[in-house]
Amino acid sequence: MKDVARESGYHITTISLALRDHPSIPENTRARIRAIADRIGYERNPVFQALSRFRQQGTVCAPAPRIGYLENFRSGFAPPRPPHLEAIFQGARRQAELLGYRLEPLAVGEDDHDSRTLTKYLRENEITGLVIGSFVPGFAEIALNWDDYAVAKIHSRHTEPDATVIGNDQLREVRLAFRRLSALGHQRIGLAVGRADEDACGHRHTAGYLMEEASIPRDRRVPPLLFPYNVDEPTLAGMIARWVRRNQVDAVLCNWATLLTPLGAEGLKIPDDVAVACLCVCDSDSPLAGIRPHLHLVGERAVSIVVTQLKSTERGLPDFPSSIYVQSTWQDGPTAPDRR
């Protein structure tokens, strides 16, 4: 505002009043000041705006500034989030609240926002911070003028923008799980993950798996099963069962946590016929052996990155976007017993 004052020759209080359209300032003066403000790129910072209202009135009446949390899979009938996406969202929401922001979930899709309506909504509500919340490949995507926003992406590697990406580390998770299963005496370890997940994480499951396979004898290697988009549970269980039998798999590494019952229906007894290690154990008292990702930290970190940009009024995408991976831990469980 000081810059606008210098440029226009008016006092800073005049600028302040003019930009808030105060009637005490003549209309053509207001227009002139607005034009100068536009030219030098002055923008009201919603954070400071809330602060000054607080100072004037001694209490907070401005709502907390908002950060948009974009999701693309909840279109139309708004199904609940699957547990892993819920964990990320809750972490993001808590961190936003801790830092004094409100996280607003915004659905993108055929029955919800498209790029045009979303742009309008964000402008009208002065939302400039965005988290792309783990977009699911195969569902709607979005194209905004990214230069206007502070953005961080959770996974969502298959889609724009080229922003900082935060995620759990599928590559090191697969390697950790593979080594644990090997140490437990499992010989033929197979990886079964969805193409959608692979696309969203940049094929990091397969990268880790191929590296581990390269260090074991050829006769213990199992070709990974990459199952198609949007497959339902019974179909998937059938595919896995056939793949297990064809390749004599001893232990399955899979990122679906709900497969035990459907696999049972396919006649596979766990762990007698085949051991299972889940790559995404989200339920805190789940008996599954596998990887326990710290998904709330993924959400937290994404919000922290957006808030840092908001505070510094940085907008747009970095020249060299970082990838940030939160490491996970292994837990033993009866689905992958000791075979030594």
Partner 1 sequence: MSKAPGKTAPLPPTAASPTAEPKRYYTLADIAAQAGVHVTTVSLALRDHPSIPPVTRARIRAVAKEFGYQRDPLLDALNFHRARRTQQTRSVNSAFVVHAGTTRLFGGNHYQPLVYAGAKAAAEAHGHALDIFVVGHGHLAPARLNTILTARGVTGVLLSTFEIDIEQLDLDWAQFCAVKIECLHLTPNLDAVSNDQLQVARLAMRRLRKLGYRRIGLATAREDQTRLGESFGMGVLIEQASLPEAECVPPLIFSLAEVPMLPRLIPEWMHEHKVDVIISNWNELFDVFATAGLRLPQDVAFASLDVPPGLPHAAGVVQNHRLVGQRAMEQLAIMTDAYQRGVPEAQTITYIPGYWQDGTTAPPRVRRAGVEWN
Q: Name the helix (H) or strand (E) containing 321.
A: none
What x/- string results for residues 110 through 149 when contact with partner 1 is judged by CB under 8 A? ----------------------------------------
Binding footprint of partner 1, residue count (CB under 8 A) = 44
Q: Which of 40, 329, 332, 339 binds partner 1 (CB under 8 A)?
A: 329
Q: What amino acid is encoded at 70 in this protein?
A: L
Q: What are phi and psi of 8, to 5 degrees?
A: -95, -20
Piece of the chain touching partner 1 by CB under 8 A; list 19-27, 55-63, 86-94, 233-241:
55-63
Per the CB < 8 A criterion, the answer to whether 25 and 14 are in contact is: yes
Residues in Cβ contact with 312 at an 8 Å cutoff, skipping those fewer than 6 apart: none
**Pairing mode of beta strands 150-154, 164-168:** parallel
Q: Answer yes or no whether residue 312 interacts with partner 1 by CB under 8 A.
A: yes
Q: Report the residue number, 53 or 123, with the smaller CB distance to partner 1.
A: 53
Question: What is the spatial distance between Cα 21 and Cα 17, in angstroms, rounded to a whole number?
Answer: 6
Instruction: Looking at residues 76 to 115 of the shown chain, list those that interact with partner 1 (rule: CB under 8 A).
Output: 98-101
Q: Answer yes or no whether residue 51 interacts with partner 1 by CB under 8 A.
A: yes
Question: What is the spatial distance between Cα 169 and Cα 112, in angstroms, rounded to a whole number?
Answer: 31
Q: Report the residue number, 81 or 157, with the smaller CB distance to partner 1.
A: 157
- Helices (H), strands (E): how many in the chain? 12, 12
The tokens describing 211, both together, are 């590296």
**Minimum Å distance from CB 66 to partner 1?**
12
Q: Report the residue number, 67 or 107, with the smaller CB distance to partner 1.
A: 67
Q: Answer yes or no whether residue 284 interacts with partner 1 by CB under 8 A.
A: no
**Minimum Å distance from CB 18 to partner 1?**
22
Q: Report the residue number, 71 or 197, with the smaller CB distance to partner 1.
A: 197
Q: Report the residue number, 274 or 298, with the smaller CB distance to partner 1.
A: 298
Q: Answer yes or no whether residue 294 interacts with partner 1 by CB under 8 A.
A: yes
One-character DSSP codes across 254-312: ES-TT-HHHHHHTT--TTTT-EEEES---STT---EEEE--HHHHHHHHHHHHHHHHHT
Instruction: List the one residue out of 188, 49, 178 whose CA is nearest residue 126.
Output: 49
Q: Answer yes or no whether residue 40 interacts with partner 1 by CB under 8 A.
A: no
Q: Name the helix (H) or strand (E) containing 331.
A: strand 329-331
Alpha helices for 189-253 (secondary structure H): 195-201, 204-214, 233-246
Q: Report the residue number, 22 or 311, with the smaller CB distance to partner 1.
A: 311
Piece of the chain touching partner 1 by CB under 8 A; list 19-27, 181-189, 281-289, 303-311:
303-311
Residues of this chain that interact with partner 1 (CB under 8 A) are: 45, 47-48, 50-51, 54-55, 58-60, 64-65, 98-101, 169, 171-172, 203, 206-208, 210-211, 214, 294, 297, 301, 307-308, 310-312, 320-329
